Structure 1
Amino acid sequence: GESKDGKSKDGKSKDGKSKDGKSKDGQQSQQDDSKTPGRDEIERARREMERAIEELKKKSRETAAEHQDEALKELIKAKEKLEEILRQLREEERKLLLAALEARFQKMLAMQLAVYQGTVTLGKVSEDDWVGRHTTQSIKLARDEEEIAVEAIKALTLLKEEGSSVSFPEAVIELREDMLVVSRRLEESKVGKLSQAIEKDIIESLEEMIDALQKELEKVEDEQKDQEKKDQQQQQQDQEPPLVDKLAELKMLRALQLRINRRTRRLARLIDGEEAVEKDVLEQLKELARRQSRVQRAARDLATGRNR
């Protein structure tokens, strides 16, 4: 399919050039360049700079200054265009991260509900009726709980990599600690009220976090649709937007404190008399004291802006 002059039937030579002498690569490059945001403005600025140089050579300072001003205007336009695109990318990245976290917590919630149901079912089996298969079932639930803890680590990694939130990572850390406690207890066939109470706390905590993330997602979507906020957003575009705003952080801190209060009350109902004597309950009370300190530290970090 080639003619004697080395051209193919479609009019292109062997070296990839078309009849007009331009290569395919060159055409592709031109197409790509034309799509680059701000390129036109930068090109116009370059031309104005060249004109300014020519005028300076002619010692026409006034005309040169005019070209310099035009070049500056074009560069500012290019900068604004690129900053707007960067802001949009940041918002989209934030939205994707919130959606990814919500999906992971939804998965964890479904898994935890299944473990809780299994624990409640085993908890109804009396000691006299407890046999080997019940132990096997409890161990299986322990393994399932460990898998949920692995999911919690993945969520925590996402939050720490993003780095702007204080209360949400703390909430996930507490969740994972509870999951590991539950896993150990189920491993030992401890399927009674304490294990069930901790699992119930995990479920409620996951539901709170999912609700908080859904609200943040809705807010991000509303902000993207709200054209009236465009000027305000442009003023703030040099700042990296936090994953969740301060109000959401405060709400999560409040939820963490309520969790401590809720767990304390649940433990109190398991205690006979005025003092906690059961070893497991004592350990839980000590853990709550540690969590109280961590929540106070998180509140201080949020107040002083140490997370930013």
Structure 2
Amino acid sequence: DGKGKDGKNQQGQQQSQQDENKTPGRDEIERARREMERAIEELKKKSRDAAADHQDKALQELLEAKEKLEEILRQLREEERKLLLAALEARFQKMLAMQLAVFQGTTTLGQVAADAWVGRHTTQSIKLARDEEEIAVEAIKALTLLKEEGSSVAFPEAVVELREDMLVVSRRLEESKVGKLTRAIEKDIIESLEEMIDALQKELEKSEDDKKEQDQKKQQQQQQDQEPPLVDKLSELKMLRALQLRVNRRTRRLARLIDGEQAKDNDVLQQLKDLARRQARVQKAARDLATGRNR
């Protein structure tokens, strides 16, 4: 008797596992197939009304299967989107921690007087340059994720600008330039990372709120068929605004480093040229967002 019970339990577990592994919508499709067969039989008997009834039932079963599959697909897309947002936030948090460490090191070296600068300070500055390069590598990884997803305009541009700044900082640290300009660029990087982390956190919170609403009320069919963007239009606009503010902020910081009305320092001049190119890219990103060229 014990063996018989064990056998039944195993069969029950196997059946339960098979039910769990069953393709969503499969039951509805199977019922639709049976209704089609019945319709064919009725047509052979020339019972058109009965055949039409079976055809209608088959169509209904197929529609139910379609709705079930669409709902599962929507859930998978939303889950994938949330995972990507979380992955990006984690990467930016890591970059922020690394950048804060570099900034602290740069600030410490910046307090060393020129006549007190020795070989070990140069070594420390080169080490900071290598650390900054590692942050730039993390930026490339984040940019790859964003470009593969493909729906955002402002966020990839923000990461491109971040990486450019990181490479500038790395080159300057390589040359033991730990003064105000280097630290100003590092501050911009830190503030930019904080802005992006905040934006991603808000987007994740909004995703949770949206999910609760969807549980109470199903989305319209049109919404189900669309790929959800990584971030909504409002978040994109906010990031574009942040990019513009970043240009303005850098311009003001550079202005404070300029003696007189015109810049003469080559480093500052190069930064001003870079800012002009950056301004043009921000304008292009705004156009792309307005025209939907990213979609």
TM-score category of the 2 structures, normalised to the smaller one: over 0.9
CA separation of 1:39/1:221 partners in 2, compared to 1, >3 Å: closer, same or farther?
Answer: same
**Paired residues for 1:157-306 under 5 Å:** 157-227=144-214, 230-306=217-293
- 1:226, distance to aligned residue in structure 2 (A): 1.6
Taking the aligned partners of 1:301 and 1:32, their CA distance within structure 2 comes to: 47
Matched, 1:110 2:110: no
Q: Please give the residue correspondences for 1:132-171 in structure 2 after superposition, counting only pairs within 5 Å.
A: 132-171=119-158
Identity %: 86
RMSD: 2.1
**SS at 1:240's partner residue?**
coil
Unaligned runs of 5+ in 2: none
Match of 1:97 among 73, 81, 84: 84
Q: In 2, distance between residues paired with 1:155 and 1:210?
A: 12
Indicate the SS of the match to 2:224. Answer: coil
Query: Cα distance, 1:193 vs. partner?
Result: 0.1
Paired with 1:204 and 1:118, the residues of 2 have a C-alpha distance of 17
Aligned residues of 1:120 and 1:191 also touching (Cα < 8 A) = yes
- Within 1, Cα distance between the matches of 2:233 and 2:124? 43
Structure 1 position 31, deviation (Å): 1.3
Aligned counterpart, 1:15: none
Letter in 1 for 2:273: K
Query: 2 CA distance for matches of 1:292 and 1:37?
Result: 50
Give CA deviations for 1:216-274 in whole Å, capped at 9, x if unaligned.
00000111112476333544111000000000000000000000000000000000000
Paired amino acid for 2:83: L
Q: Kindly indicate whether residue 57 of structure 2 is the aligned counterpart of residue 70 of structure 1.
A: yes
Q: Following the alignment from structure 2 to structure 1, what is the Cα–Cα distance between the partners of residues 96 and 154?
A: 19
Residues 263/34 of structure 1: CA separation in 2 closer, same or farther (3 Å cut) = closer
Q: Secondary structure at the match of 2:115?
A: coil
Q: In the aligned structure 2, how far is the partner of 1:28 from the partner of 1:128?
A: 81
Q: Distance in 2 between matches of 1:241 and 1:34?
A: 27
Give the AA of the match of 2:75. Q
What residue in structure 1 maps to residue 30 of structure 2? 43
Letter of the 2:147 partner, please give it.
K
Partner of 1:121: 108
Aligned with 2:91: secondary structure? helix
Question: 1:87-107, CA deviations, whole angstroms, 9 ceiling, x for partnerless residues?
Answer: 011111000000000000000
SS at match of 2:206: helix
The one-letter code matched in structure 2 to 1:274 is E
Work out the CA distance in 2 between the residues paired with 1:34 and 1:77.
19
C-alpha change, 1:294 and 1:29, in structure 2 (3 Å) is: same
1:7-46 matches, within 5 Å, as: 31=18, 35-46=22-33
Cα distance between partner residues in 2 of 1:33 and 1:115: 51
Could you tell me the TM-score, scaled by structure 2's length? 0.94
Q: Mean alpha-carbon deviation: is it higher for 218-227 or for 153-162? A: 218-227
Supply the AA of the counterpart residue of 1:244.
Answer: V
Q: Output the amino acid matched with 2:265.
A: E
Write the deviation string for residues 5-52 of structure 1: whole angstroms up to 9, x where unpaired. xxxxx79xxxxxxx99xxx9xx67981586321111111111100000
Number of positions where the alignment pairs a residue of Structure 1 with one of Structure 2: 290
Secondary structure (helix, strand or coil) at the match of 1:243 reads coil
- Structure 1 residue 301, shift from structure 2 partner: 0.4
Higher helix share: 2
SS of 2:192's equivalent? helix
Q: What is the rounded CA distance, in whole Å, between the counterparts of 1:140 and 1:30 in structure 2?
A: 56
Q: Distance in 2 between matches of 1:164 and 1:261?
A: 26
Paired with 1:191 and 1:301, the residues of 2 have a C-alpha distance of 37
TM-score (norm: length of structure 1): 0.90
